[in-house]
Chains A and B, each alone.
Chain A
């Protein structure tokens, strides 16, 4: 069953169609990869789901109910959480206070006292291995830790669908390995369905069950990671027409 589904999702900025008639599904329990060259419309698609931008055309539904036109806060409370490509922390607050915001206002936060929320926040700080930096100020920790803090905040919201916008970007090899393990655990242990925007192909290949590819706002491929990376349209989109033709020539 598809948990999060978009039909004919379109967003135009003036004459430019940043997302052009895209159909997508995040099925229950799966990790959907969303890839494509820079400017393909991946982040815009996430922003359309969260309600940050209104749709020009099309419809998005969550668990069968349309969520088109809802405000970001409302969408978050339904159980759709996200992280940001450029981490969006609350700079004047500690790591713990950042995460507690997620625990207080996410899907199951409304009934929680602040004390319970802090306990919940600590749980997720431990989950992403930030326990040594609980009380650190946000500007005292590096990008890798900030990405994990953002992840902990999103998890504290108790989402059913989690959208990770380039959570590996800017991390070193070791941190990428750790993040891959975390993403897998989130999917397997916590049974959260994920939509993962990623450029790090190693991560895409190892964590995603399915991959949707965008190019110039349109969907050009959809399938298993192995199928998608062999798709000539995808190779063309990433490496250019000339490379694709040359490659074809050498194969025959």
Chain B
């Protein structure tokens, strides 16, 4: 185990250093691609806090992304604040939104909770659409353009997303080892027994969702600044959340690095392969999702913990068949 941990650490360090120096060698397309991978990794790792640790399938988690994006846009345009102030306020607002809505809907479990979050996402998107005089409605809204050379700007966003990703991974790491982490896992495994053990389940779930929302909200703010144009259909896009779910499950739900690993894998596959299969892209996503559930329900990280073996995969297939 110790040796494996060391290998993990060395590989991780090389990857991190590589990603730090990358913008000095690359520019344009690949920088944007990797920035967007970072963004997905952040969204997935944030989703992991509520869906991975606590086991609450927040399919509508992307609502916080939209709130962050619109808050940033509105504060820049209507108040004239810096983009980063907007992003942080966006994160805080998303967090408050999660607390307010979490109080009633985190009482729901399983599918009911998942459906409720989808409903919230749609309803919030509708507000952005209908309140056109303020939000720009369905036409979308253009943010003030950054006053700097375009490649410098992209490099800056790259590092911001990278920093935010590092922060999110640290938050996940901290939670995994904290009292909150044990409480959330206990809730995921058996909520009744968790409460009987002295865990205030509603409070823990709300805190988890608020943290998840905060990070997702800030990410939405950075996205708005990066793209300089947002519309409800893009920033409230349910497909972002669905993709984040696939990434989380592929990597390993409830693990610290799994969601990041999953995000990198899926996004790299999508860049290199799916680009050639534009029309059946959703089909492939679906196949991957089914394959994960059958072949490795606990994600790639499980294979690092145990030994990777074909026998394990075969066992999973047999168990599914029964």
Contacts and interface: CB of A to CB of B under 8 A. Distances in A.
Nearest to A79: B198
A82 B186 CA distance: 16
Interface stretch (B75-83, B174-182, B234-242): B174-182
B197 A106 contact: yes
A71 B195 contact: yes
A104 B182 contact: yes
A73 interface: yes
Contacts of B200: 71, 73-74
Contacts of A73: 195-201
A107 interface: yes
A102 B190 contact: no
B196 A101 contact: no
Contacts of A89: 189-190, 193
Contacts of B188: 92
Contact of B193 (A71, A77, A84, A107): A84
A73 B198 CA distance: 4
B258 to A, nearest CB: 14
B92 to A, nearest CB: 28
A102 B195 contact: no
B32 interface: no
B189 A76 contact: no
A97 B190 CA distance: 13
A76 B182 contact: no
A105 B189 contact: no
Given A114-B177, A114-B179, A101 B195 contact: no
Contacts of A45: none
Interface in B222-261: none
A88 B193 contact: yes
A72 B195 contact: yes
Nearest to B196: A72
B192 interface: yes
B185 interface: yes
Interface in A163-191: none
Given A101-B197, A114-B179, A90 B192 contact: no
Contact of B178 (A52, A74, A114): A114
Contacts, number: 75
A76 B177 CA distance: 23
B190 A91 contact: yes
A114 B197 contact: no
Contacts of A81: 196
A114 B181 CA distance: 10
A93 B193 CA distance: 13
**SS class of chain B's interface: helix, strand, loop or mixed?**
helix
Contacts of A153: 197
Interface string A82-118: 1010001111110001001110111101000010000
Nearest to B188: A92
Contacts of B195: 71-73, 76
A50 interface: yes
A74 B183 CA distance: 15
Given A84-B193, A104-B179, A114-B178, A90 B185 contact: yes
Interface in A194-251: none
Nearest to B178: A114
Interface in B61-112: none
A60 interface: no
B194 interface: yes
A84 B179 CA distance: 23
Contact of B189 (A77, A90, A100, A109): A90
Contacts of B189: 89-93
A161 interface: no
A101 B177 contact: no
A40 interface: no
Contacts of A74: 200
A97 B196 contact: no
Contacts of B178: 114
A97 B193 CA distance: 13
Nearest to B187: A90
A90 B193 contact: yes
Nearest to A88: B193
Contacts of B201: 73
A157 interface: yes
Given A88-B190, A89-B190, A91-B189, A106 B182 contact: no
B185 A92 contact: yes
A153 B192 CA distance: 14
A234 to B, nearest CB: 30
A92 B189 CA distance: 6
A102 B197 contact: yes
B193 A76 contact: no
Given A93-B189, A106-B198, 6 more contacts: A73-B197, A73-B198, A90-B185, A90-B186, A101-B183, A102-B197
5 contacts: A73-B199, A84-B196, A101-B182, A101-B183, A106-B198
Interface of B: 177-179, 182-183, 185-186, 188-190, 192-201
State the 4 A-B residue pairs at the shortest beta-carbon distance, nearest first.
A90-B189, A105-B198, A76-B198, A88-B193
